[in-house]
Structures are given as C-alpha cells and as structure tokens.
Chains A and B, each alone.
Chain A
Amino acid sequence: MTTLLIIIFIITLFYSAISGRMFTLINLLMIQGFLLFGVALIELRELNLLNLILILLETLIFKAILVPFLLKRTIRQNNIKREVEPYMSGINSLLIVSVLIVLSFILTFSLQDTFHKIIYFTAAFSAINTGLFLIMSRKKIITHLIGYIILENGIVLLSFSVGNEMPMIVNAGILLDILVSVLLFGFFLSKIKDISKDFEITKLSKLKD
C-alpha cells in the first residue's frame, strides 16, 4: 500500500516538472503532503504514540494545509505572475527529470542490500533531485521555495523509511520542515517585495545601492 502512495508521489514529481502554473505546483505540494501523511500513517506503527501524533499532525497541518495556503496567499497578495517562467521548455524539463528519476532508480537497485525498502530511497532521492532541478531551472524566488519544499519532502520520506529504528531522524526532518515554514513566514511578513519588485532571480544579481 505504501508503495502505491510512493508511486503516486513520483508521478507528482513528473507533473511538477511540466506544470506551467504556480497554483498547479502548489496543489501538487498539497497532494504530496497528503501522500506523506498516508505513508506515515501506514508505515510508522512502531513509534510511540506521542511522537507519531506529532509527525502526523506535522505532515497534515504543515505540509498539506498551512504551507500551500501561505504560498497561495503570498502569490495573491503580492500580485506575482501566475506563470512559472522556467529557463527551459517543459519538454526539456520533463526529459531531465525523467533521466534523474531513472538514475536514482538505477542507483538504488545497485545498492539494494543496505536498504530493505528500496522504493523509499528511490522516491526520496528522485524528490531531492527534482527539487534541486526546479531550483536551478526556474526564475522566480517563490518557485525556488517550492523546489526547496519538494526537496525537503524527499528528505522526510527518506527519514520515514528508517523511522521505526531511528525516530530521531524523523524529528530532524520535521525540524527542517519547520525551518521552511519560518522561511515562508519571513517571506510573507517582511516586505520582500520592496527589495525585488518582480520576484525574479535575474534581478537579484544586479548590484544596487
């Protein structure tokens, strides 16, 4: 059952590579949050109750509801353009992301002895790669944040795979997640719009007094 959820997770990665709209990307983040919630619910049975409830609440509230909501609100309030504006076309992004995911599959199959559930490692590694790729290939700052959240979802998924043995790693993953949320809060509350008018990364490289 978890394998099924993780395969849907990988499909959302493909979709995030070709989606041309910001809101589609954010909805994908929401779906990923729900998928991670499902994985945690099924997989982390051996954890103690308090820790488990913390993780479930975190995945559900932070990942699936709060962060997407905040991102949408940021986009609406700052009048950011709704298009993603990548450096390369969707077809090239899709090709690169598929190659990255195939590579991570090959990598996990070649070291299959160390992880007893290789699908977790594959999906996590693919998400990390895809997140990094989204950060590299998109122009807007807010898309960079989304790429970072996807990367971070991968890390949380990886921590779930060893969560029953090492609960501390899951907690570390959650700390990362809270870091992103704080980053978002900062992005949202402070008037970052005054610093860069168009929220584009190309503008940030210019020096100005």
Chain B
Amino acid sequence: MIGVILILICALFFPGIIVFVKSRVTGRKGPGFFQPMKDIWRLLKKGNVYSKTSTIIFRLASPVYFASVIMAMLLLPMGDSPGIISFRGDFIFFAYALSLGKFFMIIGAMDTGSSFEGMGASREALYSMLIEPAFFILMASFGMLTGYSSFYEIYNSLYFDSSLTIFTGLLAVYVLIQIVMIENSRMPYDDPKTHLELTMVHEVMVLDNSGFDLGIIQFTSALKFVVFGSLMANFFITPEMPLWLSILVFIAVQIFFAALVGLLESFRARHKLRDNNQAILTLTPISILVFFSILLIITNQF
C-alpha cells in the first residue's frame, strides 16, 4: 500500500524534475517543479472533442491506457511489503498489462483515420515488440538467480556479493533505463519536443486527443516513469532496512533517476529513425549476456 502512495506522490514531481534539469543544463531558469502537473490539471478540467469518424474505441483508449499502468503499479513491491496483488509469475502480468494499454493506444490511434497517427502507431508497435524479449530475459534471469518468480520474492532474495553479480546488476539497470526511455518515447529514440509529424513516434499518436483524455495520457506517462523507477529502486532496498530508510531510498532513487533522464536528454541527439530498430535490438543481446553470466554464477563456473 505504501508503495502505491509513494509512486503516486513521486509521479507528481517527476516530470517537473526532468524539465528543471533540462532547463538548468541549457542555461535557462525553467518553470517550477509542479508546472507539468499544473498543465495536466488544466487539461483535466477541460472537456473532450471527438471527431465524427472516430468510434467508441478511440474514447476507450486513453482510460484503458491509464488503467493498465495503475494495474501494473499495484504489482510492485516496496521493500518489505509485497505489492497489493502479488502472485507467481506476476512480472509477466506486469509486462502484458503495460502492453494492453499500449495496444489500446495503438488501435485508438488507428481509429482516428489519420495517416500520421497510423504511422506513429506502427512505429510504437515495432519498438515495443523489440524490447519485449529484453525485458523478459532480464526478469527471467533474476528469477533464475533467486529461484522465485514474483517481483516480491525476487527482490527480497536478490543478493549482490561478488564483482560479477554487481556488474550483472549494473547491466540490468542499463537495460532497464533504456527500456524506460523507449516505453516513454524519450530522447535517444524519440524526441518529445519535435514538431514534425513525420518523425514523431509517441506524440503523433495522441494528436487527436484533447482535454481530459490528453491530461490522463500525460499523467500516465509520468506514472510509467515512476513505475519503472521503482523497479530500479527495489534493487537498492533490502528487506532489513527500516521503513523510513526504505522510503528515503525510494524517493532518492526516483529523484536521481529523473535527473538522469534530464541529463541524458540534454546531452544526446535523437537517433535517426532508421537506426532505432538496431539500437533497440542491442538490448536483447545484453540481457542474454546477463542471463549467461547468471547461469555462470549459479553453476559456480566463473
């Protein structure tokens, strides 16, 4: 329960920190921490405008997207306490709950009948297809290392003792950060600030959404960052920690992660669209390496 509350609180200031870091790095003063949330609040108060060509699917898309991320959020453990829903193999449910939301965004975008949105939807579908093996191999290798198959048990029995396990953990964090950047369509893969529809990926899919729908889509994207951030934070929270310390570590990891995203975005140009597939596919070999190094650790052959 405390994990859910923490995730919701962190989601409020997460986009603010990214914007803050980005503007400070480029030498601007930048808006306040809560400006993105104020924008979302303004959108939430507005009504929706629906095109005549769109059907019920388009209206369903953004609420389902929001609900899927909330669903995924409920699965995450927080230190000593398991998630609200926790069962064996829940990381598979986690991945497919997020995919369900994405699927609805994709068919919602197709439903508008705009050619731009179909293009963005096809790219988004391709990218999420390419990161799926990386995520599953990664989680499965940690499952293999610990012998358990739910988030709570995996994180509780994870140990980093030798240099090889620490290195494996670092590789895993690298793969997770890249997965977050792709899932949220951020800088090296997609520029959220671009103004050309032909090169957009995620932004072009929500061109027809307005008002309330757009507000919840933007809030969901902040929430998604924090959900993946708490996947990373759980690496650092051990079950022996007292509650106040684990809360502190959680928030510190989220702030650090937001600052990292801001820094990564400030110092990188986006990839060419052509090179994106290859760059995303690179994550799969790296997670295969994580898998094999964990196999070496288990069989004691390193």
Residues of chain A touching chain B, judged by Cβ–Cβ distance below 8 Å, are: 1, 3-4, 7, 10-11, 14, 18, 89-91, 94-95, 97-98, 101-102, 105, 109, 112, 117-119, 122
Contacts and interface: CB of A to CB of B under 8 A. Distances in A.
B296 interface: yes
B295 A109 contact: yes
B93 interface: no
B126 to A, nearest CB: 11
A7 B167 contact: yes
B167 to A, nearest CB: 5
Interface of B: 163-164, 167, 275, 277-278, 281-282, 284-286, 288-289, 292-293, 295-296, 299, 301-302
A119 B285 contact: no
A90 B272 CA distance: 13
A90 B278 contact: yes
Query: Considering the complex of A and B, which 9 residue pairs feature the smallest CB-CB distances, nearest first?
Result: A3-B302, A91-B278, A98-B285, A90-B278, A14-B285, A4-B167, A105-B292, A3-B164, A118-B301
A89 B277 CA distance: 11
A10 to B, nearest CB: 6
Contact of B289 (A10, A90, A118): A10
A180 B282 CA distance: 30
Contact of B277 (A14, A91, A98, A102): A91
27 contacts: A3-B164, A3-B293, A3-B296, A3-B302, A4-B163, A4-B164, A7-B293, A10-B289, A11-B286, A11-B289, A14-B282, A18-B278, A89-B278, A90-B275, A90-B278, A91-B277, A91-B278, A94-B278, A94-B282, A95-B281, A97-B285, A98-B288, A102-B288, A105-B292, A112-B299, A117-B301, A119-B296
Contacts of A95: 281
Contacts of B284: 98
Contacts of A118: 296, 301
B49 to A, nearest CB: 40
A91 B277 CA distance: 7
A118 B284 CA distance: 22
B289 to A, nearest CB: 6
A11 to B, nearest CB: 7
Where chain B touches its partner, the secondary structure class is helix
Contacts of B289: 7, 10-11
Given A91-B277, A94-B278, A101 B285 contact: yes
Contacts of B302: 3, 119
Contacts of A91: 277-278, 281
Contacts of B299: 112
Contacts of A102: 288
Nearest to A1: B163
A160 B275 CA distance: 37
A25 B293 CA distance: 25
Contacts of A122: 292
Nearest to A106: B292
A3 B164 CA distance: 7
A65 B288 CA distance: 31
A123 to B, nearest CB: 10
A4 B302 CA distance: 9
A118 B289 CA distance: 14
A91 B296 CA distance: 28
Contacts of A11: 286, 289
Nearest to B279: A18
Contacts of A97: 285
A1 B166 CA distance: 11
Contacts of A14: 282, 285-286
A102 B287 CA distance: 12
A117 B296 CA distance: 10
Contacts of B293: 3, 7
Given A3-B296, A91-B281, 9 more contacts: A4-B163, A4-B164, A7-B164, A18-B282, A89-B278, A91-B278, A112-B299, A118-B296, A122-B292
A97 B289 CA distance: 13
A91 to B, nearest CB: 4
A85 to B, nearest CB: 16
A109 B301 CA distance: 10
A101 B291 CA distance: 13
Contacts of A89: 278
A14 to B, nearest CB: 5
Contact of A112 (B281, B286, B288, B301): B301
A90 to B, nearest CB: 4
Nearest to B296: A119
B274 to A, nearest CB: 9
A95 B163 CA distance: 29
